[in-house]
Every structure is written in C-alpha cells, then in structure tokens.
Amino acid sequence: MGLTPRQEKIAEMVKTLGPITGEQIAERLNVTRAALRPDLAILVMSGMVEARPKVGYYYTGKNALSLFTEQISRIKVQDVQSVPVVVTVVTSAYDAVVTMFLEDVGSVFVVEPGGILAGVVSRKDALKVAMGGSDLHKMPVKVLMTPVPKIIVTSPDESVLMAAKKIIENEVDSLPVVSPVSQGGNKAQEVVGRLTKTNIARLFVELGEGRGGNTYS
C-alpha cells in the first residue's frame, strides 16, 4: 500500500493499543490532532483501520487487497464465460470426442432437446475409456458422460469467485453455466454457457494488467 513511516507507526499503535482516540495518538506522537488527520484518513481509507464514534480507532487487519476483494466479488460468470460446446444425447462417444478435438475444448456438454443439460464428457473420461480398450464408436455418449445429478454447475449471475471455488474444490476443469427452466412440470437446466479454468486465468491476467476495472466495474 506504500504507507509512510508515520502511517506505519500509527497503524502499529492502533493495532497494539486500539481502540484509541485521535487525541491519544496525537499526544503519543507529539503532534497536533490536525497534523494527524491526513494519515488517519489514509489508514481508514485503506481499510486497515476503522473509526468508531466515541470509541476511537481500531485495527481491522485488512490491507490494500481488500479493495480488490470488493471489486472482484462483483464480476459475474456471464462477464467471462465462453460459448458452450454441446452434443446431443443420441451421439456416440466417438463423435463426442471428435467434437472435443474439432472445437479444441477440454469438455463437451451432452444435451437433450431444448438444450437441457444431461451430462458432461471430459478429456479425462474419454482417455480412461480409450485406454481401457473399449470401442468408442459403438459406445453411446450416455455411457461415457458424467450424468446430471453428479455435475457441478454455475449460473450466469453467480460471482466468478464462487464459481472458481467450485472448480477448485471439485477438481473439475469447467462448469456448465445453466439457467433453470420448467420442462413438463419438472425443473431442468438449460445450458447457456461454459466457465473454464482458462476463463479464470484470462481474467487473472486482465486484472493483473489493470484492464479489469474498465471491463467489469
């Protein structure tokens, strides 16, 4: 955050002695209350220190990154998602893998009529079966895919941060982005996008280069 030595000193003082009033800090530093104001304003602004009326200043432990945290939680899946690559449930496992190569994606989504999510096929699933010596030509994609109840999904208005946590915690490469629809009275999920680790890595690069602020906020 680039604090000055005096600001560091004040932060340390608030951390150790807080809650502490501005007058008490001024006294200890042997400066006037007015001289202290800009420094306190910056510490409060940075989120590191908070002011509570009639109590004084206390330490929050937050740093400059808190500002980023706030901004990042506003970026939604729909801001960074990719177009989904889908095959129908009647496809063969072989054709699903060919689609994967043609579109150069790590996973394809298997859909029923109306774009309703039925399953996901990943490179890992396909490689496992191919290594096992099975003939993918004769295998329906339904046998190869991970079926719906086991699939982790996200929605367009979920924060990318939450979706990224799902990807990490469930050790998957991508999440189908779905919208709820009613199908014959039952709840179903229409595939509307694809969120991958590549989307997240690209967002990381954009934010790291300071380009995220214009695009997403």
Smallest separation, CB 60 to a copy of itself (Å): 11
Among positions 33, 52, 128, 138, the unique one binding a copy of itself when judged by CB under 8 A: 128
Among positions 13, 26, 49, 72, the unique one binding a copy of itself when judged by CB under 8 A: 72
Site for a copy of itself contains 198 (CB under 8 A): yes
**Pairing verdict, β 174-183 and 146-147:** unpaired
SS3 82: strand
Smallest separation, CB 193 to a copy of itself (Å): 17
Site for a copy of itself contains 167 (CB under 8 A): yes
CB nearer a copy of itself, residue 24 or residue 134: 134
| Cα atoms in the Cβ-side hemisphere of radius 13 Å centred on 59 | 13
What is the identity of the amino acid at 76?
K
Torsion of CA 40, 41, 47, 52, to 10 degrees: 70
What does the per-residue mask of binding to a copy of itself show for 29-68, with x meaning CB under 8 A?
A: -----x--xxx-xx--xx---------------xxxxxxx
- Cα separation, 152 vs 164, whole angstroms: 12
Site for a copy of itself contains 124 (CB under 8 A): yes
What does the per-residue mask of binding to a copy of itself show for 132-151, with x meaning CB under 8 A?
A: ----x---------------
Q: Which of 214, 212, 200 is nearest to 68 (CA)?
A: 212
CB nearer a copy of itself, residue 14 or residue 164: 164
CB nearer a copy of itself, residue 64 or residue 90: 64
* DSSP symbol at 70: H
Helix H or strand E segment including 142 = helix 141-144
Residues near a copy of itself (CB under 8 A) are 1-2, 34, 37-39, 41-42, 45-46, 62-69, 71-73, 94, 97-98, 101, 104, 106, 123-124, 126-128, 130-131, 136, 161, 164-165, 167-168, 171, 173, 197-198, 200-205, 207-210, 212-213, 217
